Structures are given as structure tokens and as C-alpha cells.
Amino acid sequence: MSSSVSKHIFTFLCKNEGCSEYGKVEKSLRQSFTVADQVLSLVLDDQEKFAIKEDEDSNTNKSVLGARSLIVAKTSLRVCKNDKCVGCEELHLCRYLVCGNCRFGAKCKKSHDWASAYNLALLKKQDLQGLTSGELFQLLLQNDHSFLPEVCFHYNKGNGEHGSCKYKTSCTSLHLCQHFLQEDCKFGASCKRAHTFDANADKILNARGISPENKRNLHKLYRNRLLITSSQERPISFGCFSNHFNLF
């Protein structure tokens, strides 16, 4: 039962851009399963598959989690960085394809066959063979830190147009408001940090092959990635997650 419940939840998350609020997850689950709260708690406590940001305020009936608690899908599967490796346990895929925009297209020297026999064997080991390419790529983008550029820590400190970043316009990290990406910027439109991409940020993203669609979804990708990172650095049960959640 627990494995079926876990797979249902994981699949639901992947079909919803890699994450969902608990209330929506539970509604979907209850339509197919009758699950005791204790079983559901154990399933969601699997930190190899799920990262959770708990919302205590929405937990009005003391259920497993508050309805607005965020659940994010995790995976240890990665894309290989070594062109010449043989028999590794990582996907052999064009990294630009995963990011959504490979400018080489059919002429690309890297594999665009995400469902090749080699890749499919790895996907089956992780029970991911049922995902579409879009669902798989979303999962990889929010779990594998090598795809998305880092957000500049120094830009988010100090005053001035570039914060305390000494590289300014030559910085290879994104100059974006970290709290905007975390969805907790209290300043909104009046924030002195960037909430949109400037020319340099756009250049960095284009160099990585980030597609226009993924650019529009970038704040969610970073939020999910940061939540996953936080859960890995401090492996705790979701019962006290809201007290420890600190992305930076």
C-alpha cells in the first residue's frame, strides 16, 4: 500500500511542475486510495523522494500537513558530465535539451534520446520510466544544481545597483532578489533588488540553453531547488520543518 501511495504522490507532483500543495495532493490521493494518516505521514517522510515546506497556519484540523504546505519531488538521478564515460549510473543526454533550448537541434553531437535503452534502464531503476520528457526534465532541473546558474549571494548584500558584488556586470551568477525566488520578498515592486532579468541575466540564462518557458517558470525552479537543498542539509521530519526552513 505505502509504495503505491508514494508512487501516486510522486507522479502527481511530476505532472504538476514538480511540486504541489498538500491539499491538492491529498485530494488526488483520496480519490484513488483509502489511507490512514499514519501511513501517509510515513510516506511523506521519505526524504529521498519528497521535500516539504510546512504551512502550520493552514493546518486547521491537525491533519498530516496544512493544506498549503508545499511538497516537492526529489530524485538522485543526474545527467552525466563526462562525454567518454562507459557504464555510469547517470543519464546520457544533451544538457541543453534538458534546459529546453538546444541550438544545435538534429546536428547536436549529444544524445537527444531521453528514452534510449541505456537511459530507460536507469529510469526503471528509479521507477521514473512513466514520466514524459517534460516531467523528467523539470525533475532534473530542480534537483541537479549543475543546470541552473547560481544566484549571486553578494548581490543580495550591501547597497547600490550591484549590492556588494565586485564583479558587477561581469558576474556569472544571477543578480536576482533571493527573497523573490523564495516567494517571501516583503518589498514587492519597491524592492531594490531585481525581480526581473536584466540583459546580463538573460545572457547567462541563454548561454545555458534555458528556454523561454523555463525562464517564465524560473522562480518556481529555484524555489523548489532551494527547498530540496535545505532538506538535504538539515534532514528533519516535516513536523518541525517550518521552524528550520532557511534557504540562505
Residue 134 lies in a domain: yes
Judgement on whether residues 11 and 41 belong to the same structural domain of the protein:
yes
Judgement on whether residues 23 and 64 belong to the same structural domain of the protein:
yes
Domain boundary among 46, 75, 104: 75
Judgement on whether residues 6 and 64 belong to the same structural domain of the protein:
yes
Residue 151 lies in a domain: no
Report the chain's C-alpha Rg in angstroms: 19
Q: How many domains is the chain built from? A: 2
Residue 28 neighbours by CB under 8 Å, 6+ apart:
8, 12
Residue 41 lies in a domain: yes
Judgement on whether residues 47 and 111 belong to the same structural domain of the protein:
no
Cβ(149)–Cβ(208) under 8 Å?
A: yes
Domain boundary among 143, 169, 199: 143
Domain, as residue range, for 116: 95-143
Residue 17: what pLDDT?
96
Residue 150 lies in a domain: no
Residue 21 lies in a domain: yes
Per-residue pLDDT in tens (0 to 9) along the chain, 248 residues: 789 999 999 999 999 999 999 999 999 999 999 999 999 999 999 999 999 999 878 776 666 899 999 999 999 999 999 867 877 999 999 999 999 999 999 999 999 999 999 999 999 999 999 999 999 999 999 999 999 999 999 999 999 999 999 999 999 999 999 999 888 899 999 999 999 989 999 999 999 999 999 999 998 999 999 999 988 764 444 443 333 333 33
Residue 38 lies in a domain: yes
Residue 62 lies in a domain: yes
H or E stretch covering 242: helix 241-244
Q: What is the 3-state secondary structure (H, E, C) of 179-210?
A: HHHCCCCCCHHHCCCCCCCCHHHHHHHHHCCE
Judgement on whether residues 110 and 66 belong to the same structural domain of the protein:
no
Domain boundary among 143, 164, 181: 143
Residue 206: what pLDDT?
96
Judgement on whether residues 23 and 70 belong to the same structural domain of the protein:
yes
Judgement on whether residues 60 and 18 belong to the same structural domain of the protein:
yes
Judgement on whether residues 7 and 71 belong to the same structural domain of the protein:
yes
Residue 61: what pLDDT?
65
Residues 18-27: b if buried by 16+ CB within 10 A, e if exposed: bbbbbbebbe
Residue 228 lies in a domain: no
CATH number of the domain enclosing 37: 1.10.10
